[in-house]
Amino acid sequence: MKTLILTRADVEQVATMELAVTAVERAFAGFGRGEGIMPPKIYLQVEDHDGDFRAMPARLGNSAGIKWVNVHVQNRKRYGLPTVMAVYVLSDPANAFPLAVMDGTLLTALRTGAAGAVASKHLANGAPKTVGFIGCGAQAYTLHGTHRVVFDGFESLAHDRNASAAQRFADRVGARIVTLEEAAGADIVCTATPSRTPFLQAQWVRPGAHINAIGADARGKRELSTETLKGAAVYIDDLHQATAGGEINVPWAEGELTLDDIAGTLGEVVAGVLPRPDGAVTTVFDSTGLAIQDVSVARAIYDAARSRSLGHEVDLIGLEPLPIE
């Protein structure tokens, strides 16, 4: 038995927006039904380098795996490297053999964007006329692409404090550059920033809109005002992760939000355990990124790569054939 090595170039050939949306929706449904196993995300802080590592194991169906991913906020300025990089190890849960080792950087960006699109599919009030993208970095592109898989014909509104980033995004996806207030007033709003200061105000949000709060992924980070959260039906991906480092982490720690303020998990809605919210209700999806999403997308990438004979097989762990006992 050999392990399949999939480089970024290999992953790019098969990891489409459609593949990501399908795999992530499957992961949420399974998680909502209680079918997956996902231990808490482990953080390894490297404060002397302004970053951290995260280990994210999970098992879903015929796949188990772990992602080793970093967030180093100064990487681009200091080293010309991405803020986020990742490697994924996919294993067979039956015998623990490492099926594949693959680039996890694109996987992470795709599954995060797909999570927002799946949330919009199940929580938004029908097809949007406008989708606002606040924060026009790398994550905005997969959020846009996966929303195009789910919805067609919407106008894209772009806002970023960095005018160059907003212009690049607008040029690439055909968005219109707008003010923060205009972007926040879209039918669907996607925030993807590293902010620690809430900037999206409740009075800007259209009643019945849906918000994907993507940026907060560590303690102290937040993008939405407490009033925005209190005025909406808030759906999370996982209670432990959301309260520890998701969009709700600060008001939760300060006692301004409690379990009574949480409408449920996205997985419960996708699985049909909870009903879709009423169309008149403003909804928020607090996305922290689940390892169960990673393993589902990694398996889809692996299967697609196998079907196309992509990648390079290696005898990674040098096993000698053993008799079956």
| Catalytic positions | 67
Secondary structure, 3-state, 104-125: CHHHHHHHHHHHHHHHHHHHCC
Task: Tell me how crowded residue 299 is: count the other CB atoms within 10 A of its CB.
Answer: 22
Task: Tell me how crowded residue 40 is: count the other CB atoms within 10 A of its CB.
Answer: 13
Contacts of 309 (CB under 8 A, 6+ apart): none
Please say whether the beta carbons of 27 and 60 come within 8 A: yes
Spatial distance between the Cα atoms of 216 and 222, rounded to a whole number of angstroms = 5
Nearest by Cα to 68 from 318, 291, 301, 311: 291
Spatial distance between the Cα atoms of 186 and 206, rounded to a whole number of angstroms = 7
